[in-house]
Amino acid sequence: MKNRGKPTGHYTQAARLHTVIRLIETRGGITLDELVEETGVDLRTVHRDLAAIQQAGYPLVSKREEGHKVYRFLTEGRQAPPITFTLDELVSLHLLKACAGLLPPEPFGNEVEAIFKKIHASLPPRSVALLERITRVSLPRFQGVRTYDASAGLLSELRRALLYQYRVKLDYQRSGKEAVAYEINPYTLVLAKGGLYLLAYAHNRRAIRLFAVERITDLQVTRQRFDIPEGYTPEDNFGDAFGLVTDQPMEITVRFDADVSHLVRDRVWRPGQRMQLEQDGSVLLSFEASGTLEILAWVLSFGRHAELLEPPELRRELRRHVKGLRELYRKKS
């Protein structure tokens, strides 16, 4: 029997029971064969699930119709109206799902799959039949996405602390240095540049700090609760930053030649940016930002097609980087 576009993956019993209940409610009745197809389990498991639903107090009844036993709920009050989507909404929904590829499979990716199983269980049959084609309409691609294979347990504990506002003790190790112990109030999980970062108040620093999740070597969630300060806004901690790092803001001006100007002029690189088109086809881009290394890396990513004009001290720093690259590539293999 052809799969109708449902996401694959392991069902927990609780998630599967929720799916079965929604299928019965939204479709006004369903056969055993349809339940086997929708849930991806065998007939014996479907029978056990139906028995568990009855034991939970749902008024489940069955009636033979056109040679098939159809299961439905006797009480009309339990029926929920089906969720309907337009084709455009389904495309956007699956593009959002594909963007979840930036997140580690444990625990986020598997939970996204579970969410879509619930959504599919609520859809009428006509919409479900379209999903197989729609899943191939959009395809985001990512580079440099971090892996968190060894951090699944740590991420689950960290998320619990974020949800219930528990204070956390952690060991944090920067490259080439010994781990440092912190006691923090975790505020916000930040997804940036293919990695996860934690914005938290560090008690031993008496300030908000940003922690790269992959550098957390140990984490303990306490039972001590904390309150997020009134007026706290995560975005305020990155106000001047070109990326993640906030230091002294600078007025940046870069010239992009005609070969790459089309890659620059139709994008917003910083709020309040100013762009000037030159007669030779080049573009002058100016904005205020902080984060020296991130700005330099961005300019260098355009190679010889980008020239940093301002500020002078950053231009000198970029010249040192270019000199180092020249010496590196002049070396004989």
Segment 301-317, tens digit of pLDDT? 999 999 999 999 999 99
Those residues with Cβ within 8 angstroms of residue 136's Cβ, 6 or more apart along the chain or in another chain: none
CATH class, domain 150-227, is: mainly beta
Q: For the chain, which residues make up each domain, given as ranges?
A: 13-134, 150-227, 250-330
Please tell me the predicted confidence (pLDDT) of residue 60. 86
Closest CA to 123 of 162, 149, 78, 84: 84
CATH code: domain 13-134 is 1.10.10.10
By the 10 Å C-beta count (0-12 exposed, 13-18 middle, 19+ buried), 178 is classed as: exposed
pLDDT band at 9 (very low <50, low <70, confident <90, very high): very low
By the 10 Å C-beta count (0-12 exposed, 13-18 middle, 19+ buried), 8 is classed as: exposed
> How does DSSP classify residue 177?
S
Distance CA(189)–CA(192), nearest Å, equals 10
Please tell me the predicted confidence (pLDDT) of residue 111. 82
* For the ranges 102-116, 127-141, 150-164, 250-264, the one whose mean pLDDT is highest: 250-264
Residue 189 in 3-state DSSP? strand
pLDDT at 326 over 80: yes
Q: What is the pTM of this model?
A: 0.69
pLDDT at 271 over 80: yes
Give, for 281, the enclosing helix (H) or strand (E): none
Record the tokens describing residue 170, joined without a space: 């952690």
Q: Indicate the fold that domain 250-330 takes in CATH.
A: Alpha-Beta Plaits (3.30.70)
Segment 78-113, tens digit of pLDDT? 455 556 677 788 778 888 888 887 888 777 888 888
First to last CA, the chain: 58
Higher pLDDT, residue 275 or 77: 275
Give, for 259, the enclosing helix (H) or strand (E): none
Residues 208-219 have a mean pLDDT of 94
Record the tokens describing residue 208, joined without a space: 């908000």
Distance CA(303)–CA(156), nearest Å, equals 41
Residue 123 in 3-state DSSP? coil
